Amino acid sequence: MRKAYPPIEPYNAGMLDVGNGHEIYWELCGNPAGKPAVFLHGGPGAGCIEDHRRLFDPDRYRVLLFDQRGCGRSTPHASLDSNTTWHVVDDIESLRMKFDVDRWLVLGGSWGSTLALAYAQTYPERVSELILRGIFTARRSELLWLYQDGASWLFPDKWQSFLEPIPEEERGDLIAAYHKLLTGNDEDARLKAARAWSLWEGETVRLMPDKKLSELHATDEFALAIARIENHYFINKGFFKDAQILRDTHRVRHIPGVIIQGRYDVITPMRTAWDLHRAWPEADFQLVDGAGHAFNEPGILHQTILATDRFADETT
């Protein structure tokens, strides 16, 4: 089983003003002369962590990581203003131009897979390869599975905690009910809702429980960003027409790709990855038995490292 590369520090980092009051944090890691790659984190609203740097061979890659609008080290924190999929697609392209990259490998997991596909479908000439994990396309059916009636059957105990901030009469549309709390003026209610939303994801993301992950999702700063931004995106259907990402897959079928999916992924069930596989049969489809959703579950990590290693020496 392949494991992550050793921890590394960025050799350059900074903030990029992308307009409308937003500044996004970016960092460059690895070999300044290496193959260009960009990593797209999940959420939306989760931000990057140190272990994301370790998905690439630091001797062969020049990797850009950045915190998307409103999360991580980007500012303003948890802001929903001028924060849509298409703003972030433009941010990726602005970063590409800032660092004078012609074409680069794009790796994204969970929401990052959605964003990677949206970017590649918009700028296919700028993507050398795609590596996607835990596939999510923001279809209504996917949102209802996680936030209305689906995953609750597998985790009724965790689901009960998710329901608690919402009055019983408003539980027919939980995304809308949460939106009212997460964007309301009651600071205590906003924070309580953010923690409940964040923990629902944090405690179902792995096949086996992870106490440290649950603790992260319960922290005020992380919970506010991921809950507010996810809910904002999801009440707006990801700022897509339903099934848009799958419908437009033909725009990227010429790009070498790898699709990595955990068999027992509750956050983004396998059905979506399978639908993408059928729409994009040229991509290498890697189904990982014995894995959930998290990027660092052993089988998923193994396949991710194999994929980045596979493309490391290919020309861009």
Identify whether 141 is a catalytic site residue. no
Q: For residues 175 and 235, is the Cβ–Cβ distance under 8 A? A: yes
Q: For residues 205 and 217, is the Cβ–Cβ distance under 8 A? A: no
Structure tokens at 256: 């070498």
Identify whether 110 is a catalytic site residue. yes
C-alpha closest to that of 67 among 140, 10, 120: 10
Give the active site residue among 128, 265, 277, 302: 265
* Burial status of residue 274 (CB atoms within 10 A of its CB: 0-12, 13-18, 19 or more): middle
C-alpha closest to that of 231 among 182, 283, 185, 158: 182
Identify whether 250 is a catalytic site residue. no
Residue 116: half-sphere exposure toward Cβ, Cα within 13 Å: 31
Within 10 A of 213 (CB to CB), how many other CB atoms are there? 17
Q: What is the largest CA-CA distance in the chain?
A: 58
* 60 φ, ψ (degrees, to nearest 5): -115, -10
Give the active site residue among 110, 113, 128, 198: 110
Tell me how long the chain is. 316
Element (H, E) at 179: helix 174-182
C-alpha 130: how far from chain center: 14
* 24 φ, ψ (degrees, to nearest 5): -110, 140
Give the active site residue among 22, 232, 293, 302: 293
Phi-psi region of 248 (alpha: psi -120 to 50; beta: other; left: phi over 0): alpha
**Hey, which residues are catalytic here?**
110, 265, 293
